[in-house]
Amino acid sequence: MEPLVRCNHLTKYYGRFPALNDVSFLINPGRIVGLLGPNGSGKTTLIKIMNSLVTPTSGEILIQGEKPDVRSKARISYLPDKLFFNEFMTVDELMAYYEDFYVDFDGDRAFELFKDLHIDTSSRIKSLSKGTQEKVQLIMIMSREAKLYILDEPIGGVDPAARDYILNTIISNYNPEASIILSTHLISDIERILDDCMFLKNGRLILYNSAEALRQERGMSIDEIFREVFRC
Amino acid sequence: MLGKIMKHEFIFIKRIYFPVFIGTVGVTLFSIILYKLNTFFVSKDLPILSLATGIINGLMMSLLVLVPALSVLFVIMMFYRTMVGREGYLTHTLPIKKRDLVIGKNLSGMIFCLFTMVVSLICFILYCYLTDIKLYNEIFGFHQVFHHLSEFFKNPTVQEHLLEILLAILLVFAAFLVQIYFNIGYGYLCISLGQLMNKHKIIYTILFWIAINIGISTLSSILISMISILLLGTNFNEPLIDFISKNSFYAFDLLAFAMLAINAVLAFLCNFFSIRLLTNKLNLE
Amino acid sequence: MAWKLNSSKPIYLQLIGILKSQIVSGQYAPGEKLKSVRDLAAEAGVNPNTMQKALAGLEDEGLIYTNRTSGRYVTEDEDILQQIRSENAGGLILDFLKSMQNMGFTKDDIFQLLEHHMNTQIHSVSLNQEED
């Protein structure tokens, strides 16, 4: 079976600076993968390349065996770490927009999630608090029936209660045919929901193993391993 | 997909343009009312009323001229915002071909710009017609426009060449539309080039705009002189006048068509390269 | 509320421990149907694959069985349940004896204290059980 994501010797230079350096890995369906590393380790560059927002210098990345293009975009649901919607839209208008362009968008489910979090769908995104805006973005992303979810810092600016709700949503939406890539600093909060961990340092993939195997081998939590590996 | 993109472009534009539209129409009507009031009270000396009329009239003229003039810039800025700004993360992850995105936005932008011009024109005609101002009527002759037009169409020569004249008008209108399309598409191309850089994308966009502008102006001047010489012989004074007097209507059609064709080709090239750049060399911040 | 887990040790082993306690303490009746893997994982706040592994472990020990069409059930085999209860009890008693010895109590002291507390505490103890 073709892995969901296959990365072969991916390299990206910005001028003379290698943001990504000979990165290779594969991700099978049904896995929740943590993409872990400090700022500047190449996580965001890797994610951008997967979403064809940036072209690599050399190497390739394949989504379900194909290069990233219009077809793969329909199967990837990406949550960037910044606000990327037009602030003047209302949540309802945003849902209509998604309905128009994404065949796999489940508007009913999104509406239910908005109700659960007491978000008024007729309000303009601009009028919502930052935390609420982030929840709106997350709900839109998770309401798609995609094959690959890429979440860049999904719980960063969110309060602990909402954090639990978000992690719960991610677990409840688990689909053995889809995979989730979670890029984050807040490792101790999310490490229990990870299957596998990818450690990126200075653009290189230095460690890729299952979370449980790492715990067994080193007798440490993933958070502790991270602190050790990236010690300043 | 093209239709959906255009539909959403119009929704976005409408959000910002609708108040401007209401404002323009409102100010026009207000200006007309003030003028009428002014003429009504002309016996009484009311400097406040004259002042108000002047100011509102000035505002109206500014709006009628500036709104269409800035509409192209507005469309180009919207392209930057949705394709290179942070909204690019939404636009470029949609499962749409870049080709549909560029052409869809270019077309809807063109329609929007045309709409603003039509709105300004209608407001202006309305103002002139309802206020019966001597100044406007002497220069633009709106009251006599219909009279002149009917005289014009009764002319036997005109009736003989009616088809060519209508064709010429159509071609000029089409050329005008394509001109707008090209101006927008040109802005898109400069943005597509500017985004290649990692820093100061906007500055590079403007630099490209200037550089390509100079380049094309020079090239087209050379091209037009070459074509003129080729078509009308080296001694191009006599044959030119001769040609025009004998085939005045055809010449005009030819000129309009040439404008249309050149702009169309340029527009196509702008779109083509924009699409190529955004597909293969996207560099989102 | 997610279950209390130590992230420094393999999670699936801890899940097995917690589920075992839940079963023997009566949270699940013998023969009762378990929630789906996803629902259990969401309740525990862990990865569904990890929960799956824990459930497989429980199945190996005979505490649960899988009916292919309808899901997972707690065993009705009282012997196994009793065995687990005894194991758990043994663990608790061992910890208790260690703590008491650390404080310096002798075997006789321990018996006396046990008798005393069981007689006076018997009412509150049974109350607690009812609340559970």
Report pLDDT digits (tens) over A43-76. 999 999 999 998 899 999 999 999 888 999 999 9
C-beta of residue A198 within 8 angstroms of C-beta of residue A25: yes
Taking the C-alpha atoms of residue A144 and residue B40, their distance in angstroms, rounded to an integer, is 65
- DSSP structural state of residue A231: -
Q: CB-CB: which of B4, B12, B93 is closest to A51?
A: B93
Taking the C-alpha atoms of residue A74 and residue A62, their distance in angstroms, rounded to an integer, is 14
To the nearest whole Å, the CA of A60 is away from the closest chain B CA by 14
Task: Count structural domains, chain B.
Answer: 2
To the nearest whole Å, the CA of C29 is away from the closest chain A CA by 25
pTM of the full predicted structure? 0.84
To the nearest whole Å, the CA of B277 is away from the closest chain A CA by 11
B132 CB-near residues (< 8 Å, 6+ apart)? B143
- Residues B179, B134 share a domain: no
Q: In the Cβ-directed half-sphere of B213, how many Cα atoms lie within 13 Å?
A: 10
Contact: chain C with chain B (3+ CB pairs below 8 Å): no
List CB contacts (< 8 A) between A168 and chain C: 42, 45
Taking the C-alpha atoms of residue B217 and residue B273, their distance in angstroms, rounded to an integer, is 19
C-beta of residue B188 within 8 angstroms of C-beta of residue B101: no
- Looking at B118, B152, B186, which one is the last position of a domain? B152
Choose among B24, B1, B235: nearest CA to B102. Answer: B1
Taking the C-alpha atoms of residue A231 and residue B5, their distance in angstroms, rounded to an integer, is 48
**SS3 of residue C132 by DSSP:** coil
- The structure tokens 């036997």 sit at B156
Taking the C-alpha atoms of residue A43 and residue A10, their distance in angstroms, rounded to an integer, is 12
To the nearest whole Å, the CA of A206 is away from the closest chain B CA by 26
- Residues B201, B118 share a domain: no
pLDDT in 10s for each residue of chain B, 285 residues: 889 999 999 999 999 999 999 999 999 998 888 888 877 776 667 777 778 888 888 999 999 999 999 999 999 999 999 999 889 999 999 999 999 999 999 999 999 999 999 999 999 888 887 776 666 666 665 566 666 777 777 777 767 777 777 888 888 889 899 999 999 999 999 999 999 888 888 898 999 999 988 988 898 788 888 877 776 665 555 666 666 666 666 777 777 888 889 889 999 999 999 999 999 888 888
Contact: chain A with chain B (3+ CB pairs below 8 Å): yes
Residue B122: both structure tokens together: 């209608």
Q: How far is CA A146 from CA A140, B173, B285, in A?
A: 12, 47, 25
CATH number of A5-229: 3.40.50.300
More confident residue, B244 or C128: B244
C-beta of residue A109 within 8 angstroms of C-beta of residue A69: no
Q: Where are the domains of chain C?
A: 11-76, 79-131
Taking the C-alpha atoms of residue A1 and residue A24, their distance in angstroms, rounded to an integer, is 18
- Residues B171, B107 share a domain: no
C-beta of residue A99 within 8 angstroms of C-beta of residue A107: yes
Choose among A5, A32, A57, A45: nearest CA to A210. Answer: A32
C26 CB-near residues (< 8 Å, 6+ apart)? C132
ipTM of the complex: 0.88
Q: CB-CB: which of B87, B90, B281 is closest to A55?
A: B281
DSSP string, chain B: -HHHHHHHHHHHHHHHHHHHHHHHHHHHHHHHHHHHHHHHTSSS--HHHHHHHHHHHHHHHHHHHHHHHHHHHHHHHHHHHHHTSTTHHHHTTSS--HHHHHHHHHHHHHHHHHHHHHHHHHHHHHHHHHH--HHHHHHT-HHHHHHHHHHHHHSHHHHHTHHHHHHHHHHHHHHHHHHHHHHHHHHHHHHHHHTTSSS-HHHHHHHHHHHHHHHHHHHHHHHHHHHHHHHH-SS-HHHHHHHHHHSHHHHHHHHHHHHHHHHHHHHHHHHHHHHHHHHHS-B--
Mutate to test the interface with A, among B8, B13, B86, B89 (most CBs of A within 10 A): B89
Task: List the 208-267 stretch of B: residues with Cβ below 8 A of A.
Answer: none
**C contact set with A (CB within 8 A):** 2, 5-12, 38-39, 41-42, 45-50, 53
C-beta of residue B188 within 8 angstroms of C-beta of residue B270: yes
Taking the C-alpha atoms of residue A146 and residue A178, their distance in angstroms, rounded to an integer, is 7
List CB contacts (< 8 A) between B13 and chain A: none
φ, ψ for residue C10, nearest 5 deg = -50, 130
Centre a 10 Å sphere on the Cβ of residue C66 and count the other Cβ atoms it contains: 13
Choose among C93, C89, C88, C90: nearest CA to C20. Answer: C88
- Looking at B103, B123, B152, which one is the last position of a domain? B152
Secondary structure of chain C: what % helix, strand, coil (to 5)? Answer: 65, 5, 30
CA A88 to chain centre: 25
The pLDDT of residue B143 is: 60
Taking the C-alpha atoms of residue C65 and residue C31, their distance in angstroms, rounded to an integer, is 9
Helix B2-40, helix B98-131: angle, nearest 10 = 10
- Looking at B100, B128, B152, which one is the last position of a domain? B152
In chain B, the residue whose alpha carbon lies closest to the alpha carbon of A12 is B283
In chain A, the residue whose alpha carbon lies closest to the alpha carbon of B278 is A53
Looking at domain C11-76, its CATH class is: mainly alpha
C-beta of residue B88 within 8 angstroms of C-beta of residue A48: no
Report pLDDT digits (tens) over C85-123. 888 888 888 998 899 889 888 888 888 888 888 888 766
Taking the C-alpha atoms of residue A67 and residue A62, their distance in angstroms, rounded to an integer, is 5
Is B97 within 8 Å of chain A by CB?
yes
- Residues B127, B188 share a domain: no
Q: What angle do CA C7, C11, C17 make, to 5 degrees?
A: 120
Residue A200: both structure tokens together: 């990126």
Report pLDDT digits (tens) over A135-189. 899 899 999 999 999 999 888 777 888 888 888 888 988 888 999 999 988 898 8
To the nearest whole Å, the CA of B120 is away from the closest chain A CA by 27
- Minimum mean pLDDT range among A102-106, A109-113, B261-265, C64-68: C64-68
Q: B94, A82: Cβ pair inside 8 Å?
A: no
Report pLDDT digits (tens) over A30-41. 999 999 998 888
The pLDDT of residue B139 is: 60
Chains contacting A with at least 3 CB pairs below 8 Å?
Answer: B, C
- The structure tokens 């005609």 sit at B125
Mutate to test the interface with C, among A32, A155, A171 (most CBs of C within 10 A): A171
Choose among B227, B188, B215, B170: nearest CA to B109. Answer: B188
To the nearest whole Å, the CA of A222 is away from the closest chain B CA by 30
pLDDT higher than 50, residue C132: no
Q: CB-CB: which of A54, A55, A101 is closest to B95?
A: A101
The pLDDT of residue A135 is: 87
The pLDDT of residue B241 is: 62
Q: How far is CA C1 from CA A117, A190, A195, in A?
A: 17, 15, 21
**SS3 of residue C63 by DSSP:** coil
Centre a 10 Å sphere on the Cβ of residue A109 and count the other Cβ atoms it contains: 15
Full residue range of the structural domain in which residue B127 is found: 1-152
**Neighbour-count burial for C102-129, b at 16+ CB within 10 Å, e otherwise:** eeeeeeeeeeeeeeeeeeeeeeeeeeee
The pLDDT of residue C56 is: 92
**SS3 of residue C38 by DSSP:** helix
